[in-house]
Structure formats: C-alpha cells, structure tokens
Amino acid sequence: TSNYRPEELYAKGFNRDQFVDFIPDLTGQCPVIDLGGETDYRKVDLSENSEIFWHPINPDTTASFNQTFEKMVGKDVTKDFQLPIPMEKRHISVPAYGTDTRGAKVARFTFNDLCVKNMGRADYSVIAENYHTLFIEGVPKFKPDLGAEFRRFISLTDILYGKKVALHLQSEVHTEQLF
C-alpha cells in the first residue's frame, strides 16, 4: 500500500531515473484504488473536549490527561514495569500500565521515555504487541534540533498505527502544528 500513485513514487528520489522503468511493471501488477473522499477521518471528533489529544502542556491538560488514564484503567496500576524484549537480554521500562474494562493493557509513557532515549523499531514493536492503548505525555513541537527524536516519534506512531494501537497524546501544540 502507498499514499502515492505509482507514477508519483520516488518522485524526487536520488537516481529516480533507475526506478522509472519499473513503474509500468508495478502498475500492471498492482491495481490502483483511490480511497480519497471528502472526510479526513484523522480529524473527526478531535474537538477541544476530546479525550484523545491534549494541548498545550499545562496543569489543566495534565489533570484531564491523568483523569482519562485513571478512568480507563481504574486504580489498579502497575508502576515501573520491566517489559522484556524477546530474544534479547534487555527490557523496556514501562512507567505505568493497567488494564481496561475489556481486559486490554493500557500503558503510559512520557515523550522522553520513548523518543529521547535510544529506542528503535524493535522496541516500539514490543510495546505495540503488549499494549492496546498508549498514553504519551509531554510531546514537544518539533524543531530542527530534535532530528533523532522526530525520527523516533515517526517510527513509533507508524508502528502503533500499523498494529492498531490507540494513542492518547498530550503535546505542546495542536497535533496539526507538531511538525
């Protein structure tokens, strides 16, 4: 799958001329299905009162963020859990997690826990495979000096999306202004 039509793939890529001859083969083997529509579902029900995204970072949004996490998991919260990484002799530190009413695990992290520390796709995959919902607080507005953190955040959200993990986020600015 792709967000680009075959003729738009690798449009400004280095050595695109070596890729252009492949485009007709790709088009012949892969049907193009346009899923465009009038509604951008990424923005549906994201009002200021939603319990999905909070901004800016202040005592009010922090209190609401905390209340939503507590409402979802109740008072039975495990703190500082060491999530093992299969086949490796290391773990991921999960600051807090609980279980929702459906029995699904819900974890809570800070941006620093996930994107400032040296973590990668394998770490994010383990998190996504173990938790149905993630709460992440303290996401900054990305600036050029946050290059590594930005790449980690993109990898994290990409993996969470791919594994259908629900994301609740507290950020410095509205999600449309993060990048």
Cross-sheet strand order for the sheet of 133-139: 53-54, 166-171, 133-139, 105-110, 91-99, 78-84
pLDDT < 50 positions in the chain: none
Provide the pLDDT for residue 103.
Answer: 94
Q: What is the pLDDT of residues 15-41, one digit of tens each?
A: 888 888 888 998 888 888 877 766 655
Residue 83 token pair: 């999530």
Residue 165 is given by DSSP the state -
Longest dimension (CA), the chain: 59
Nearest to 67, CA basis, from 147, 146, 170? 170
